[in-house]
Amino acid sequence: MSTDLGTWPEGVARHVLARVETTMAEASRLAPHLAGPAWILAHEQTAARGRRGRPWRMPPGNFAATLVFHPPGGPAHAALYSFVAALALDEALGYLLGPAARLSIKWPNDVLLNGGKIAGILLESLGIGGQISHLTVGIGVNLAAAPPPADLEPGAMAPVSVAGETGLTITPEELLTPLAAAFDRRARQFETYGFAPIRTAWLARAARLGEKVIARTTTETHEGVFETIDESGAMILRTAHGPRAIAAADVFF
């Protein structure tokens, strides 16, 4: 795909705000009034959270934005936009940081720089009775600083920042345009050709593919070799008891 990510995608709105509770809450509030996709970027969040409702602090200068749009298809199809988002973020960061940046994607949708976590992605759907009216894709990136170690859960991957790893200063607005452009292109590819090309591109960027990992669900811990992801986005582990599909888990290296 083209690497020219410097142009804002046509038909996509952009809202840049100084301070909000969370960009995802703001996206949910705006969703019923939007004519098309919209990105909401905030310079400060007062009640940010990560996966499974975990608190998440945002140091000044870091990136916090949410895309809200109406996805085609049902919940299973919408969930695959997690991989679209991770791939788009990887491409946008690569565009800004250059070919020397050692970027990869940790299943399901964390982006790593030099082996440390630089970004996370959170999807939430809006709707009634199993019908999705809108999907929100929240993205946080450590541009200026990584969160302090005290904020991390035990065993979590050490976070890093763009500034700390590369010495580069990138503003949230400078990241937003290539991210929006990359997401728009990958989403169009997904909607036209299905998940297969997204899956192929994602696997080419996957961290620890072919290596041993530990996947912890809310009730179980599985250890095995990360072989691939299937057509539903599940991680396929080769364990001592045979292949196992993991639909949702925290992964540890």
Give me the CATH number covering residue 225. 2.30.30.100
Judgement on whether residues 196 and 232 belong to the same structural domain of the protein: no
CB 39 within 8 A of CB 65: yes
- CA angle 25-73-89, nearest 5°? 55
Mean pLDDT score across all residues of the chain: 92
Residue 8 placed within a domain: no
Residue 1 has pLDDT above 90, yes or no: no
For residue 65, list its beta bridge partners.
Answer: 41, 139
Question: What is the reported pLDDT for 51?
Answer: 55
Residue 70 has pLDDT above 70, yes or no: yes
Tokens standing for 248? 């949702």
Residue 243 has pLDDT above 90, yes or no: yes
Q: What percent of the chain has pLDDT over 90?
A: 79
Angle between helices 195-204 and 81-97 in degrees, nearest 10: 50
* Rounded CA separation 233/81 (Å): 10
Question: What is the reported pLDDT for 2?
Answer: 43
Give the Å distances, CA to CA, from 195 to 54, 83, 96, 117, 136: 29, 9, 26, 25, 19
pLDDT digits (tens, 9 = 90+) for 110-135: 999 999 999 999 999 988 777 899 99
Lowest mean pLDDT among 37-41, 111-115, 150-154, 178-182: 150-154
Angle between helices 172-193 and 195-204 in degrees, nearest 10: 130
Judgement on whether residues 134 and 30 belong to the same structural domain of the protein: yes
Give the Å distances, CA to CA, from 65 to 42, 87, 148, 152, 177: 6, 16, 21, 21, 11
Confidence of residue 140 (pLDDT cuts 50, 70, 90): very high
Residue 246 has pLDDT above 80, yes or no: yes
- Which residue has better confidence, 56 or 208? 208
* Rounded CA separation 103/60 (Å): 23
Range of the domain at 246: 212-252
Rg (CA), the chain: 17
Judgement on whether residues 199 and 216 belong to the same structural domain of the protein: no
Q: What is the mean pLDDT of residues 157-169?
A: 94
